């Protein structure tokens, strides 16, 4: 390892000599020193590193130098893959023999060889196209080294049969599996045990943390230091894993696997199949009744979230006594079937591994159902969600700050939290408060890019309020004009799938550029199609607001349709807001606005990805200028000029420099835009 970080990141350092396009950045050196200091002395560091800082290498190089294992956790699998497939190999070329790394994802990302072989003889496919896709997966499983479905870039993201062949933990047979040694999960864990840097994602990290706390073992090997990249996502991810959920899908998958189990005793098989049929009917009755009670009828793709209480499941008689409601009766009958199945499997004299796994699953589902239905812990919000054909019950902690402080930050020697978007109005108070961090070293590094020369902000002169029915049509017209002005080459970012699809339908037939839609393939696959398709326009939602790196002319325009406020009626958002109000704060200004500002900064960060990029950021939401809180959003934008004229966009792209129009007085200097 070099003597100092200047030797690595300096103008004539190791990186510069190996990478022709490297640019020296003081901020990268400062960040690397801060990360190394935390690894050496312990504690927590919060680092906002503006776009272009080179933060990935700034924490990976100190991690290589650290003698103990470092976990690097990313917000998305795509960023995780970028680190492992691009950044780590680059560092291996700089430090031969010094980089021992592994990549770990959640189990359902990997194919299970045992389930795949069994599925060949099961009726899980729904048409000729699925037959072709299954055959492709089967052939791929014979040649892949990792078993990671991210390699299947040519197949749809939502393969219907994937849940029947993935390596999820509740179907795992463990060491009793005939494919244990060849198993992709076994091999992944072996690589991680031998690694000094283990790259995970936030979902896996917090799933592992929950397992450690509940004494169910662990997935990630022990570590002394952790780096959270895109750490603005930590609260949301941690809340999901410190809670629990049950859905009709989860129960249906259990029933399907139960019907496939190999139990030799004919009488036992008959009893199990009879109880499984009864569970199917009772489960269907419960979820149908629950959906009718909780959710209005709407389109199949509408996301509907509603808070639930225990009163749904009990009622008071005329005599004043409490008894189960009709929904409660359906729930009790479903639980009775689960208990009978668990008891039958538990009483087997010599149960096969599948039976032991199924008994454990029946017990776990019952416990999770009880917790969600009881709805009696004031520290949790209980809510239901209808998503497509699925209905989900959730129990989510309202505030994870104490949980994170106790389970994570007090038990790890060193933690680094970094992102391009952590501060709101120049302060880290919001993120520290939400994550339960009492003390931390703080560092802010401005972006390396010259936004005054490289970027232009476009704000329409007039737009309806987003709540106005006319907004979508007006937004579609603006998108058409912007796409024509930039010759395609655009991300159009939305806050909901429904709005994204509606806008795509309105725009796609009115522009002469190829339009891509999120969900038409894997995320990695559609991004690659965008890069390779001249003039492409990608319509996408929240998962494309961060962790996406498209440099050069392929992406010259980012269009943000609405400010990314969380839906105030969302049960989790509402519960967090009530908790803040009860403490004397403002739910809107203390929680919703800072959250939305951070999300907006993430979307903005897709635009300029290198010092040679030139781009236009368009925000179609008029509240940026019509509402008092709009100032918080304006202050979060990069320091670049602003226009309300689409004609300026064409001139900027032709001149290849926004500062030239500022100098001529044709567009507004950032210092004059009214921040």
Extended strands (E) in 409-514: 414-419, 441-445, 455-458, 490-493
- Give the Å distances, CA to CA, from 434 to 109, 235, 590, 591: 30, 7, 11, 9
**194 alpha carbon, distance to own chain's centre:** 27
Q: For residue 622, what pLDDT is reported?
A: 96
Residue 524 makes CB contacts below 8 A (sequence gap 6+) with 78, 81, 150, 153
CA angle 31, 410, 422 (to 5 degrees): 40
pLDDT for res 475: 97
pLDDT digits (tens, 9 = 90+) for 202-258: 999 999 998 876 545 678 999 999 999 999 999 999 999 999 999 999 999 899 888
DSSP 87: I
Cα distances from 270 to residues 185, 256, 274, in angstroms, run 34, 15, 6
Has residue 338 got a pLDDT over 70?
Answer: yes
- Region at 371 (left for phi over 0; alpha for psi -120 to 50; beta for the rest): alpha
Q: Which of 198-202, 449-453, 475-479 has the least mean pLDDT?
A: 449-453
- pLDDT value at 493 more than 70: yes
Q: Where in the chain is the domain with CATH 3.40.50.300?
A: 5-105+183-240+399-445, 451-672
Q: Which residue has the higher pLDDT, 415 or 214?
A: 415
> For position 236, what pLDDT does the model report?
93
DSSP label of 306: E
Pairing of β 537-540 and β 455-458:
unpaired
Is residue 48 very low, low, confident or very high in pLDDT (cuts 50, 70, 90)? very high
Contact predicate 643/650, CB 8 Å: no
Average model confidence (pLDDT) for the chain?
Answer: 87
- Determine the CATH number of domain 244-397: 1.10.275
Q: Which CATH class is domain 5-105+183-240+399-445?
A: alpha beta
Higher-confidence position of 280 and 293? 280
Closest of 418, 430, 449, 536 to residue 488, by C-alpha: 536
pLDDT score at 411: 92
pLDDT tens-digit series, residues 287-332: 988 876 665 433 334 457 889 988 889 988 777 788 899 999 999 9
pLDDT of residue 546: 67
- For residue 649, with 0-12 CB atoms within 10 Å meaning exposed, 13-18 middle and 19 or more buried, which class applies? buried
CB 503 within 8 A of CB 479: yes
pTM (2 decimals)? 0.84
Rounded to whole angstroms, the Cα distance separating 399 from 12 reads 47
Average pLDDT over residues 50-77: 93
Helix (H) or strand (E) run with residue 70 in it = strand 70-74
Joined together, the tokens standing for residue 42 give: 């312990």
**Predicted pLDDT at 263:** 65
pLDDT-derived band at 1, boundaries 50, 70, 90: very low
Report the candidate in 279, 263, 261 with the shortest Cα–Cα distance to residue 349. Answer: 263
The CA-atom distances, in angstroms, between 22 and each of 94, 474, 522, 585, 612 are 14, 42, 30, 46, 12
Please give the structure tokens belonging to residue 407. 């389970």
Query: Radius of gyration over alpha carbons of the chain, in Å?
Result: 26
How much is the pLDDT for 153? 81
pLDDT in tens, 454-476: 888 999 999 999 999 999 999 99
Residue 295, pLDDT score:
57
Q: What region does 142 belong to: left with phi over 0, alpha with psi -120 to 50, or beta?
A: alpha
Write out the residue limits of the CATH 1.10.275 domain(s) in the chain.
244-397
- pLDDT cut 70: percent of the chain above it: 92
Q: 29 and 9 in contact (C-beta within 8 Å)?
A: yes
* pLDDT computed for residue 673 by the predictor: 47
Alpha helical stretches, state H, 554-612: 571-582, 587, 593-604
Distance separating alpha carbons of residues 52 and 135, to the nearest angstrom: 43
Predicted confidence band of residue 637 (pLDDT cuts 50, 70, 90)? confident
Q: What is the pLDDT of residues 3-23, one digit of tens each?
A: 589 999 998 899 999 988 788
Alpha-carbon span 142 to 117, nearest angstrom: 11
Cβ neighbours of residue 422 under 8 Å, at least 6 residues apart? 46, 47, 48, 231, 232, 428, 431, 598
Predicted confidence (pLDDT) per residue in 499-558, tens digit: 999 999 999 999 999 999 998 877 778 888 988 999 999 999 877 776 677 777 778 889
Give the pLDDT confidence score for residue 3 in this predicted structure. 53
Return the pLDDT at 662: 64
Longest dimension (CA), the chain: 88
- Asked if residues 39 and 45 have their Cβ atoms less than 8 Å apart, the reply is no
How many alpha carbons lie under 13 Å from residue 273 in its C-beta half-sphere? 11
Average pLDDT over residues 357-372: 93
Residue 130 has pLDDT above 60, yes or no: yes
pLDDT at residue 378 above 50? yes
Among the listed residues 382, 380, 417, the one whose alpha carbon sits nearest the alpha carbon of residue 305: 382
Give start and end residues of each alpha helix (H) in 299-456. 326-346, 353-374, 401-404, 429-435, 451-454
User: Exposure of 12 by Cβ count < 10 A (0-12 exposed, 13-18 middle, 19+ buried)?
Assistant: exposed
Question: Measuring CA to CA, how many Å separate 26 from each of 30, 32, 39, 559, 597?
Answer: 6, 10, 20, 31, 26
Q: How many CB atoms lie within 10 A of CB 72?
A: 29
State which CATH number among 3.30.110.40, 3.40.50.300, 3.90.650.10, 3.20.20.140 fits the domain covering 451-672.
3.40.50.300
Query: What average pLDDT does range 62-80 have in this prediction?
Result: 92
Q: Are 230 and 76 in contact (CB under 8 A)?
A: yes
DSSP state of 455: E
- Residue 333 pLDDT more than 50? yes
Pick the more confident residue, 672 or 400: 400
CB of 146 closer than 8 Å to CB of 110: yes
Q: What's the pLDDT at 618?
A: 93
Q: Are 473 and 514 in contact (CB under 8 A)?
A: no
Residue 674 reports pLDDT greater than 60: no
């Amino acid at each position: 390892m070099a003597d100092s970080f200047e030797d690595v990141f300096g103008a004539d350092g190791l990186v510069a000599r190996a990478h022709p396009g490297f640019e020296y950045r003081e901020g990268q050196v400062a960040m690397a020193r801060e990360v190394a200091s935390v690894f050496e002395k312990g504690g927590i560091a919060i680092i906002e590193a503006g776009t272009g800082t080179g933060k990935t290498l700034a924490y990976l190089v100190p991690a290589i130098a650290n003698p103990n294992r470092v976990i690097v956790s990313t917000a998305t699998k795509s960023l995780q893959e970028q680190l492992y497939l691009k950044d780590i190999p680059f560092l291996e070329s700089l430090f031969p023999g010094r980089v021992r790394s592994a990549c770990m994802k959640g189990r359902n990302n990997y194919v299970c060889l045992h389930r795949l072989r069994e599925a060949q003889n099961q009726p899980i496919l729904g048409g000729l196209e699925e037959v072709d896709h299954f055959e492709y997966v089967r052939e791929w499983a014979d040649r892949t080294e990792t078993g990671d479905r991210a390699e299947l870039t040519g197949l749809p993201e939502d393969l219907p049969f994937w849940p029947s062949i993935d390596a999820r933990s509740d179907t795992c047979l463990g060491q009793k599996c005939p494919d244990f040694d060849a198993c992709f999960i076994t091999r992944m864990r072996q690589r991680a045990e031998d690694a000094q840097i283990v790259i995970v994602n936030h979902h896996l990290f917090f799933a592992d943390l929950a397992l450690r706390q509940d004494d169910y073992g662990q997935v990630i090997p022990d570590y002394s230091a952790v780096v959270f990249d895109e750490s603005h996502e930590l609260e949301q991810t941690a809340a999901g894993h410190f809670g629990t959920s049950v859905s009709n899908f989860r129960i249906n998958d259990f029933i399907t696997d139960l019907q496939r189990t190999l139990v030799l005793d004919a009488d036992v098989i008959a009893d199990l199949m009879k109880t499984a049929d009864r569970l199917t009917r009772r489960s269907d009755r419960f979820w149908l009744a629950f959906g009718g009670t909780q959710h209005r009828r709407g389109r199949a793709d509408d996301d509907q979230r509603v808070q639930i209480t225990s009163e749904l499941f009990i009622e008071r008689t005329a005599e004043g006594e409490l008894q189960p409601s009709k929904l409660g009766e359906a729930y009790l009958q479903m639980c009775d079937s689960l208990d009978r199945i668990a008891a039958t499997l538990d009483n087997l004299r010599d149960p096969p591994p599948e039976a032991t796994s199924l008994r454990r699953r029946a017990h776990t589902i019952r416990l999770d159902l009880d917790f969600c239905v009881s709805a009696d812990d004031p520290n949790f919000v209980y809510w239901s969600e209808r998503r497509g054909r699925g209905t989900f019950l959730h129990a989510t902690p309202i505030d994870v700050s104490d949980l994170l402080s106790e389970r994570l930050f007090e038990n790890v020697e060193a933690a680094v939290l970094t992102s391009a978007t952590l501060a709101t109005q120049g302060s880290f108070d919001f993120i520290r408060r939400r994550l339960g961090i009492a003390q931390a070293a703080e560092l802010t590094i401005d972006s390396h890019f010259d936004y005054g020369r490289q970027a232009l902000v476009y704000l329409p002169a007039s737009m309806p309020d987003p709540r106005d029915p006319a907004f979508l049509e007006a937004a579609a017209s603006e998108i058409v004009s912007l796409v024509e002005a930039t010759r395609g080459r655009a991300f159009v970012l939305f806050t909901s799938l429904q709005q994204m699809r509606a806008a795509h339908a309105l725009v796609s037939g009115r522009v002469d550029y190829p339009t891509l839609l999120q969900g038409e393939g894997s995320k990695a696959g559609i991004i690659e199609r965008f890069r390779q398709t001249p003039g492409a326009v990608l319509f996408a939602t929240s998962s494309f607001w961060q962790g996406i790196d498209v440099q050069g002319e392929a992406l010259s325009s980012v269009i943000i349709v609405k400010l990314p406020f969380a839906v105030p009626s969302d049960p989790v958002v509402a519960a967090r807001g009530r908790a803040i109000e009860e403490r004397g704060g403002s739910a809107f200004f203390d929680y919703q606005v800072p959250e939305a500002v951070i999300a907006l900064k993430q979307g903005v960060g897709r635009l300029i990805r290198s010092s040679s990029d030139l781009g236009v950021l368009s925000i179609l939401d008029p509240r940026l200028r019509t509402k008092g809180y709009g100032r918080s959003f304006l202050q979060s934008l990069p320091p670049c000029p602003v226009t309300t004229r689409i004609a300026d966009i064409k001139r900027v792209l032709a001149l290849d420099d926004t500062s030239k129009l500022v100098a001529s007085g044709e567009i507004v200097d950032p210092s004059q835009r009214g921040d």
